[in-house]
Chain A
Amino acid sequence: MTTSDFDRVRPPEPPGRGRRDGKRRRRARPGGGDGSREMPMVPEAEFTSYYGRPVVKPAPWGHDVAAYLFLGGVAGGSAVLAAGAQLTGRDALRRNSRLAALAAVSLGAVALVRDLGKPSRFVNMLRVIKLTSPMSLGSWILSAFSTGAGVAAVAEIDRMTGERLPLGPLRPVLRGVEGPTGLAAAALGPELAVYTAVLLADTATPTWHEARDELPFVFVSSASLASAGLAMITTPVAETAPARRLAVVGVIGDLVATRVMHRRMDPVAAEPLHEGRAGTLLRLSEGLAVAGGIGALLGGRHRGVAAAAGLSLLAASALTRFGVFEAGIHSAKDPRYTIEPQKRRLAARRAAGITDDSITTSG
């Protein structure tokens, strides 16, 4: 800032515009606005950013991907239920779950391809098998699962249509392999439900990466309760006792895993899970999951109650996925969620005497 004679004719600076030095500071917002949440037990962090612009970029994914997170879980869980029904002789549950698995995985795959920047190149996903890429492993899991679930479901469709599918000499083959392929799909079902958690966690998106230890448990619980819920809608109550039990276990797992996740995460990185639209979705999801779980436990033998509870569980799972998805995207868009946890962990390491692993060095 120079001083010259001309400064006298300069108009006075308007108040409140003193932030022209490229420095933006914000105070860490204290807990929730509702006063029910405790204050974070960390010092209020001051942080600087470059004109408030994000440090990391959000994944360029639309709601198609969030929908896939949900559908993949439903498909994986349904295949597991179908295999259980197959082995215990519950024909209606087996048929409906096999069909559900194929429908969900097909819709999910369409959603995934739609979200690609070059949908015509979706088959490039199977160019390599890459252990460091959850997306690569997931593509292979999805392909193998779809094959197994597809064969099993086609066999069901053939039976339902009175063997009218033009299968010719392949019909005996199909009858022979439907059992094993159904079991193979079931073996891949939990992997299909869980890999998306690793896919999200293996990114630089702060909220997803910070949730990496518990997100797999949240996702398998969500998949279990959703697929069980779907079975409770589609299948007569006489055969859905296992689905109801799975639903209750899923709800308990969902509640416990979500709570542990929130408690263990860096409070700033966890913030997007509590606040804004994502926070609303996740709170709603929890309410619906509890309602659905109680419905399954107490009224599951009544067809109407079971269907309502199943619907509630499906909605809960969808909301969980959309909530986690949106929280992560939001956390990448605000530099605070990247910078504050990183500064804190750096300071913690320095305080512990570890000074040799910083990216910033004095020489």
Chain B
Amino acid sequence: MPQLSGPTDPAADARWPDVKPRKGFFTDTSICIGCKACEVACKEWNRNPRDGDLELLESSYDNSGALGASTWRHVAFIEQKGDRIQEARESGRALIDLGMPGMGAPAAPAAASPDLSETPILDTPEFRWLMSSDVCKHCTHAGCLDVCPTGALFRTEFGTVVVQADVCNGCGTCVAGCPFGVVERRSDGTVAPKTERGERKGEQPDVPNLGVAQKCTLCYDRLLDDETPACAKTCPTTSIKFGDRAEMVTLAKERVAELHAQGRTEARLYGANELDGVGGTGSVFLLLDEPEVYGLPPDPRVPTADLPRMFKQAGLAAAGMAAAALLSFIGGRS
């Protein structure tokens, strides 16, 4: 069995003979402008079909809802007032006070905790928009990959996680296995009859890979040609950065230290810690509030980390059933 939890190089753990440097994203939400160019570029490059019925979801400017089978980049919009901004600033300060992490990769000099007593006290704006482009995390220990029964999901030489659409039989186990709710089985969205006027106008192209699990591939096809993934390539503000994962983590640590030095203690990193429940994520984020505000789990844990214990319990239970049956028959002799 491969390593189920803790820090590791996932591509080497998957026994690739020629391990490439692990690739990843650093999504700096502090400079995201919510233009959704990443969503569009991703759809175009990967030829993902339209998702749903083009409704307005009444969630600020977010009308694509969540990551899914045909939405591999999703831009979240959160509108916050002053009190909430203050809370975010305080929760970030509490994180700094905990001295987290101080572990893992050696911190760059700039990443040392700033002396907060000397940082300027910022005015809290009355209102802010949080915008964040979410994507598959390409976990070090990927729940989807672990539970896939067919081998359709695999670890690439870049340390990313990709579905082979021609192998997947659509069992759906990976959907439940992902602690971030990323991977989804693709349906054509025709479950409900279209009764309203104006829907499904014109010709719709056939939906490819129907009934099969689909998610971000970190543009595996582009990586093989030394190209940048479509979303990072198109991002106009460099909010989405792409590169070697180690470099991304260093960049992220420098950036968060920079923001802290400006007094913006609400800034924090998500996924940069290799001691977390999924062994660190390939996609690292800089967030400006608690993760759940963005729809991210606050303490994700790869379910397979508990698998040895689950097997033990299951073995005990099975033995118990066999023993109960044995006793039932032995008792019959008397």
Interface residues of A (CB under 8 A from B): 1, 20-23, 47-51, 53-61, 77, 80-81, 84, 87-88, 115-119, 121-122, 124-125, 127-128, 130-136, 138-139, 189-191, 193-195, 197-199, 201-205, 208-209, 212-214, 216-217, 219-221, 223-224, 241-243, 245-246, 249-250, 253, 332, 335, 338-339, 342-343, 345-346, 350, 355-363
Contacts and interface: CB of A to CB of B under 8 A. Distances in A.
A58 to B, nearest CB: 7
Contacts of B268: 360-362
Contacts, number: 349
Nearest to A349: B299
B229 interface: no
A194 B317 CA distance: 7
B278 interface: yes
Most B CB within 10 A of own CB, among A119, A204, A361: A361
B152 A194 contact: no
B171 A117 contact: yes
A191 B319 CA distance: 9
Given A1-B127, A195-B314, A197-B317, A121 B176 contact: no
B76 A50 contact: yes
A48 B293 contact: yes
B303 A202 contact: yes
Given A80-B325, A212-B309, A253-B324, 13 more contacts: A61-B172, A84-B325, A124-B152, A124-B168, A136-B148, A190-B321, A198-B307, A202-B304, A355-B98, A358-B100, A361-B268, A361-B269, A363-B253
A127 B151 contact: yes
A130 B149 CA distance: 7
Q: How large is the interface on B (under 10, 10 to 19, 20 to 34, 35 or more residues)?
A: 35 or more
A120 B202 CA distance: 31
Interface in B122-172: 126-127, 130, 143, 146-152, 167-172
Contacts of A246: 324-325, 328
Contacts of B62: 51
Contacts of B113: 362-363
A282 to B, nearest CB: 19
Contacts of B21: none
Nearest to A208: B176
Looking at chain A's contact residues, the main secondary structure is helix
A243 B304 CA distance: 36
A53 B66 contact: yes
B270 A360 contact: yes
Most buried by A among B170, B257, B309: B170
A339 B292 contact: yes
Contact of B80 (A23, A118, A119, A128): A23
B179 A22 contact: no
Contacts of B269: 360-363
B332 interface: yes
A59 B292 contact: no
A1 B318 CA distance: 62
B80 A55 contact: no
Contacts of B270: 359-361
Given A202-B303, A204-B177, A80 B322 contact: yes
B80 A88 contact: no
A124 B153 CA distance: 13
Nearest to B91: A360
Contacts of B328: 84, 242-243, 245-246, 249
Contact of B147 (A121, A202, A346): A202
B274 to A, nearest CB: 10
A57 B273 contact: no
A336 to B, nearest CB: 10
A243 B148 CA distance: 37
B277 interface: yes
A216 B272 contact: no
B192 interface: no
B313 interface: yes
A170 B169 CA distance: 36
B256 A197 contact: no
B22 interface: no
B3 to A, nearest CB: 10
A56 B38 CA distance: 22
Interface string B58-69: 011010011000
Contact of A250 (B103, B184, B324): B324
A342 B149 contact: no
B46 interface: no
B299 A359 contact: yes
A80 B306 CA distance: 29
B161 to A, nearest CB: 13
Interface string B294-323: 111111100110110111011011111110
Contacts of A55: 180-181, 292, 295-297
A245 B331 contact: yes
B86 interface: no
Interface in B207-226: 210-213
B101 interface: yes
Contacts of B59: 22, 50-51
Contact of A224 (B2, B178, B294, B325): B325
Contacts of B278: 359
Contacts of B271: 359
A198 B260 contact: no
A131 B147 CA distance: 9
Interface in B54-87: 57, 59-60, 62, 65-66, 76-81, 84
B43 to A, nearest CB: 20
Nearest to B289: A48
Nearest to A213: B313
B92 interface: yes
A56 B179 contact: yes
A22 B60 contact: yes
